[in-house]
Chains A and B, each alone.
Chain A
């Protein structure tokens, strides 16, 4: 988003009695007890706060955006939702009481997250899940896949998660079951410990074109000591990336960003994305205190890491590759949930796609997929957009090598037939384009009911419901 023009977006009285400027009302959770209560979004000295009033505990608040300009600009990034083919909940009894998805939910499931188990071979203090013995049986997992297919018809992506999903006794069986024609690309979220020691498993996943979504908070041991409670993880993670690359696999890195812990690690993580062909994407998730993290971690809710800050840190750590305007909110979810950019691989360097495409085209192309090009639709759109660049005389940076890359992609795309499998599409997409996503999960302090209504990251439950991620994480007691 552009941020060049400083404009007054709010006026406040400068007397000592002045308070915040209210933008909108919503419903949120009391910081203390987690009960739903009245809330308002306010602008305060250039920042955006969520202020709640619990009848029992009074006022509490949380930072939700470090930059009011980003926040108000992001509100224009909206796109009509897509309805699922089928909804598990028939009767609306009020939001979020009858969640899962009810008839009033405003987005289908772009990104299903199948949680196999709460078991894990690590005990991260920042874990969103926590210490429950819950485990999906193979039958329930298959049923959840059936539900997803019934609700969505065709799924571009499925994320298999946990806990540590590789700990599930039927892990591979479930991955195999997920390899059905209606489901496109499978990614597995993992801490890497087990995979780094089980090459046979890793090999099978890679043969099945599974993308390894590796929890990767930085390259320093200290980061993992603080966030994961483990002494020496960094070397293992880097070795695993090598191993995956050697086997011809693909990795996407998921970085949890915590204040005063690993902000300085962003340049190193970006370097890996920029330098390693096998790394498709980086997903940065500002720390959210749900599950175990809510009990173990203390944090200043008015000094939390939020999306505009992450954008600025990514820009600063990109050695000139990225500009702030290359990032935009994801319009199909709520604009406060995601920001992202795509990068075109050229001979010499990566070029942000937004700097090549016009805004309208670009917004049509971006989707809630950390991996680019998992469906024919978006590939055709980008093909058209690339033809436009190819045939125009517009000024583009590093024209020659950009055009060469575009020509390469167009040639590849032209050889595809319309029924090409997802994995083949993904091959073309990921060979040429990388992505950077920022996903701001909500926790008790930042939970905003407005955002939930448009959530597209859903957890299939054993009972058939599809729960928006932040509802599951924060309102388990209400809806489970």
Chain B
């Protein structure tokens, strides 16, 4: 008798993860089965279980070969335990902080069944402006400056001194301040939108559904009208926005096309972030059934929902993060609103090189040169006038003759013609793998002395801080 092959199953690699049942750090494996890639958890005390981390093995293998822009952190803490118990980051962490994430409050006016954090109306905490500034100082010192800072919560608009905090974060070392919000306060209070515009904040508006019933299911309330009102108020006030959609398997997948349309048609919406549902935290850990959608699954669904405007290969892994964590697509939107993928205008490796600082393309001279070459090539190939015109106009505003603009100003100007789509997969207990955490550039400042990778923070550190944790 011959030994038999395991049908369509193959082992790829092993690492460490966490057992959902007992929360112990256990061996995990990347395996493929029927052409898909799973993370398999091997807890000695619990049955083997799997979660989907890539729909396609060939995508996964290609993504792992994609360019890596590595900049280890300069300021680290002493490593006193194995990963993830000594995060700060330690000397072993592989990526510096490109996006500090500040939780400024533990208050929220919602109690969403999909929430992956913990909020506490019973024990209100609002970060004081002084404390906030101390943390900003720390981040600037630790990183030497960042393109982006993210303010989140809780619900940041519940913080009574939000605008003062944002004003304190306006400094030359910080390119841009983004504020996450559910939009409820902004919808009711147009003045807040004006204030946000005044301090130059970008708003990341949570926007998961246009359907009342689904809103009820995932937020506990029908927020659909308020969300659109918030978007209108932000537009009127001239606030630049990102729509943040949490894509939940079996719940709102069919709405991807509508929310994509909304992001593409509203002029003040600069980017769309599709965040895959992480089944962890106050609501998320109870939410079911758990159907993980991986990064390439989002990209495929986007392509399918876009009526041919987007293709899967328009997206590529963000070189500063693990490919299972972040994908990105850059699109030029010309005057007649049609989209042109940067991955068709420019070489993907060149694009990757210009993303070595994080999330926004670096408008270097080399990029200018490459864009000029793209224009020449398009012209020779008979590219559309609308596209050529848009490209030329973008270049002229980014690189005006006789005037040198700073990086952040160039980025702001370029964005007027660009739509960016980010795909971001947070990890939960099922998908947590320490290699992804080690490459994490999104870091949470803690005690003005540590920066902890966001998913490490969510899964292993938040519970050490009772401002952001409720013992269940």
Residue numbers of A with Cβ under 8 A of B are 7-13, 17-27, 37-38, 40, 42-43, 51, 53, 55, 59, 72-73, 75-76, 78-85, 92-95, 104, 106, 108, 152-154, 449-450, 453-454
| Chain A residue contacts of B16, Cβ below 8 A | 25, 27, 38
Cβ-neighbour of B11 out of A21, A26, A81 (below 8 A): A81
B residues in contact with A18, CB < 8 Å? 70-72
* CB-CB contacts below 8 Å: B431-462 with A: 433-435, 438-439
Query: Complex Cα distance A24/B434, Å?
Result: 9
List chain B residues, Cβ under 8 A from A450: 13-15
Q: Which one, A17, A40, A59, A85, contacts B1 given CB within 8 A? A: A85
Measured between beta carbons, the chain A residues less than 8 angstroms from B8 are: 80
Q: Is the CB of B349 within 8 A of A7?
A: yes
CB-defined contacts of A75 to chain B, threshold 8 Å: 61, 64-65
Query: A13: which of B5, B15, B71, B92 is its contact (CB, 8 Å)?
Result: B71
CB–CB A11/B67 < 8 A: yes
Instruction: Tell me if B4 and A106 are in contact (CB < 8 A).
Output: no
Partner of B10, one of A23, A80, A449: A80
B340 within 8 A of A: no
| Interface pairs (12), CB distance under 8 Å | A12-B70, A12-B71, A22-B95, A23-B64, A24-B13, A25-B434, A25-B435, A26-B14, A55-B80, A72-B64, A75-B61, A80-B7
* Residue of A11, A42, A75 contacting most chain B CB atoms (<10 Å): A11
Check if B319 sits within 8 Å of A11, measured CB to CB: yes
Residues of A within 8 A of B70 (CB): 10-13, 18-22, 42
Q: What is the interface residue range for chain B against chain A?
A: 35 or more
Least CB distance from A224 to B in Å reads 39
Q: Which of B5, B11, B69, B82 counts the most chain A CB atoms within 10 A?
A: B11
Judging by beta carbons under 8 Å apart, are B435 and A40 in contact?
yes
Chain A residues whose CB sits within 8 angstroms of the CB of B81 once the complex forms? 55
B12 at the interface (CB under 8 A from A): yes
Say yes or no: A10 contacts B67, CB within 8 Å: yes
Chain B residues within 8 Å of A55, by CB: 79-82
In the complex, the chain B residue whose C-beta lies closest to that of A12 is B70
Q: Report which of B27, B67, B95 forms a contact with A94, defined as CB distance below 8 A.
A: B27
Q: Closest residue to A8 on the B side, CB-wise?
A: B349
- B6-A83 in contact (CB<8A): yes
Does A22 lie within 8 Å of B438, measured CB to CB? yes
B273 at the interface (CB under 8 A from A): no
Number of A-B contacts (CB under 8 A): 156
Q: Is B325 an interface residue (CB 8 A)?
A: no
Q: In this complex, what residue of B is CB-closest to A24? A: B435
Give A19 to B71 CA distance when docked, in angstroms: 7
- Let me know if B94 is at the binding interface, CB within 8 A: yes
A153 B1 Cβ-Cβ under 8 A: yes
The 8 tightest CB contacts between A and B, nearest first, are A25-B435, A22-B94, A21-B70, A106-B11, A21-B68, A19-B72, A10-B68, A8-B349
A83 to B3, CA, bound (A): 6
Q: A40-B92, A75-B65 are in contact. Are A152 and B435 (CB under 8 A)?
A: no
Contact residue among A17, A59, A85 (Cβ-Cβ distance under 8 Å from B91): A59
Shortest beta-carbon distance, A220 to chain B, in Å? 40
Residue B191 lies at the interface, judged by CB distance under 8 Å to chain A = no
Pair B65/A9 contact, Cβ less than 8 Å: yes
| A residues less than 8 Å from B434 (CB atoms) | 25, 38
User: Within 8 Å of chain A (Cβ to Cβ): is B9?
Assistant: yes
Query: B10–A82 contact, CB under 8 A?
Result: no
Q: Which of B29-79 contact A (CB under 8 A)?
A: 29, 42, 44, 48, 61, 64-72, 74, 79
Instruction: Provide the bound-state CA to CA distance between A19 and B91, in Å.
Output: 11
Complex formed: what's the CA distance from A42 to B3 in Å?
36
Complex interface: chain A residues within 8 A of B370 (CB): none
CB-based contact B65/A72 at 8 Å: yes
- The smallest C-beta distance from B276 to any residue of chain A, in angstroms, reads 21
Which residues of the other chain, A, contact B72 by a CB distance below 8 angstroms?
Answer: 17-20
Name the B residues within 8 Å of A85 (CB-CB).
Answer: 1, 3
Tell whether A84 pairs with B69 under 8 Å between CB atoms, given A22-B439, A53-B91.
no
**Which of B13, B67, B72, B82 has the largest number of chain A CB atoms within 10 A?**
B13
B1 in contact with A76 (CB, 8 Å):
no
Query: For the complex, is B352 an interface residue (Cβ under 8 Å from A)?
Result: yes
**How far is B26's CA from A85's CA once the two chains are assembled, in angstroms?**
27
Q: Is the CB of A82 within 8 A of B1?
A: no
Known: A27-B16, A92-B42. A21 touches B353 (CB 8 A): no
Q: Say yes or no: is B2 at the interface (Cβ < 8 Å to chain A).
A: yes
- Is B140 part of the binding interface, using a Cβ–Cβ cutoff of 8 Å? no
Taking A24-B15, A27-B16, A450-B14 as known contacts, 14 extra A-B pairs with beta carbons closer than 8 A to each other, sorted by chain A number, are: A10-B70, A11-B69, A11-B352, A12-B69, A12-B71, A13-B70, A19-B70, A25-B433, A73-B65, A80-B7, A81-B6, A83-B3, A92-B42, A92-B44
Q: Which residues of A contact B71 (CB under 8 A)?
A: 12-13, 17-19
Q: Are A11 and B15 in contact (CB under 8 A)?
A: no
Contact for B6 among A17, A80, A92, A94, CB less than 8 A: A80
Query: With an 8 A cutoff between CB atoms, is B360 at the interface?
Result: no
Cα distance A53–B161 in the bound complex, in angstroms: 43
B182 part of interface (Cβ distance < 8 Å): no
B356 interface residue, CB < 8 Å from A? yes
Cβ contacts under 8 Å, B192 to chain A: none
Contacts of B211-270 to chain A: CB distance below 8 A: none
The proximity string for B residues 398-428 relative to A, scoring 1 for CB distances below 8 Å and 0 otherwise, is 0000000000000000000000000000000
Contact of B3 with A152 in the complex, beta carbons under 8 Å: yes
Q: Which of B10, B48, B65, B439 contacts A79 (CB 8 A)?
A: B10
Instruction: Give Cα A454–Cα B438 distance, bound, in whole angstroms.
Output: 24
CA distance in complex: A51, B93 (Å): 12
- Which B residue sits closest to A93, measured CB to CB? B44
Q: Is B375 part of the contact surface with A, judged by Cβ < 8 Å?
A: no
Q: A11-B356, A72-B65 are in contact. Are A95 and B14 (CB under 8 A)?
A: yes
CB-defined contacts of A78 to chain B, threshold 8 Å: 10, 12
Residues of A with C-beta under 8 A to B388: none
CB neighbours of A106 from chain B (8 A): 10-11
- Chain A residues with Cβ below 8 Å from B199 are none
Assembled-state Cα–Cα distance A480/B11 (Å): 26
Asked if B15 and A26 make an inter-chain contact with CB atoms under 8 angstroms apart, the answer reads: yes
Task: For the complex, give the distance between the alpha carbons of A7 and B65 in Å.
Answer: 10
Q: In the complex the two chains form, is B68's CB within 8 Å of A449's CB?
A: no
Q: How near does chain B come to A1, taking the closest CB pair, in angstroms?
A: 13
For the complex formed, measure the closest distance between the CB of A398 and the CB atoms of chain B, giving whole angstroms: 35
Most buried by A among B1, B70, B71, B439: B70
Mark contacts of B345-363 with chain A using CB atoms, 8 A cut-off: 1 yes-contact digit, 0 otherwise: 0000100110010000000
Q: Which residues of A contact B94 (CB under 8 A)?
A: 20-22, 40, 42
Q: In whole Å, how far is B305's beta carbon from the nearest beta carbon of chain A? A: 30
Contacts of B2 in A (CB 8 A): 153-154
Q: Are the CB atoms of B92 and A38 closer together than 8 Å?
A: yes
- CA separation between A94 and B43, bound complex, in Å? 8
Task: State the CA gap A37–B434 with chains docked (Å).
Answer: 13
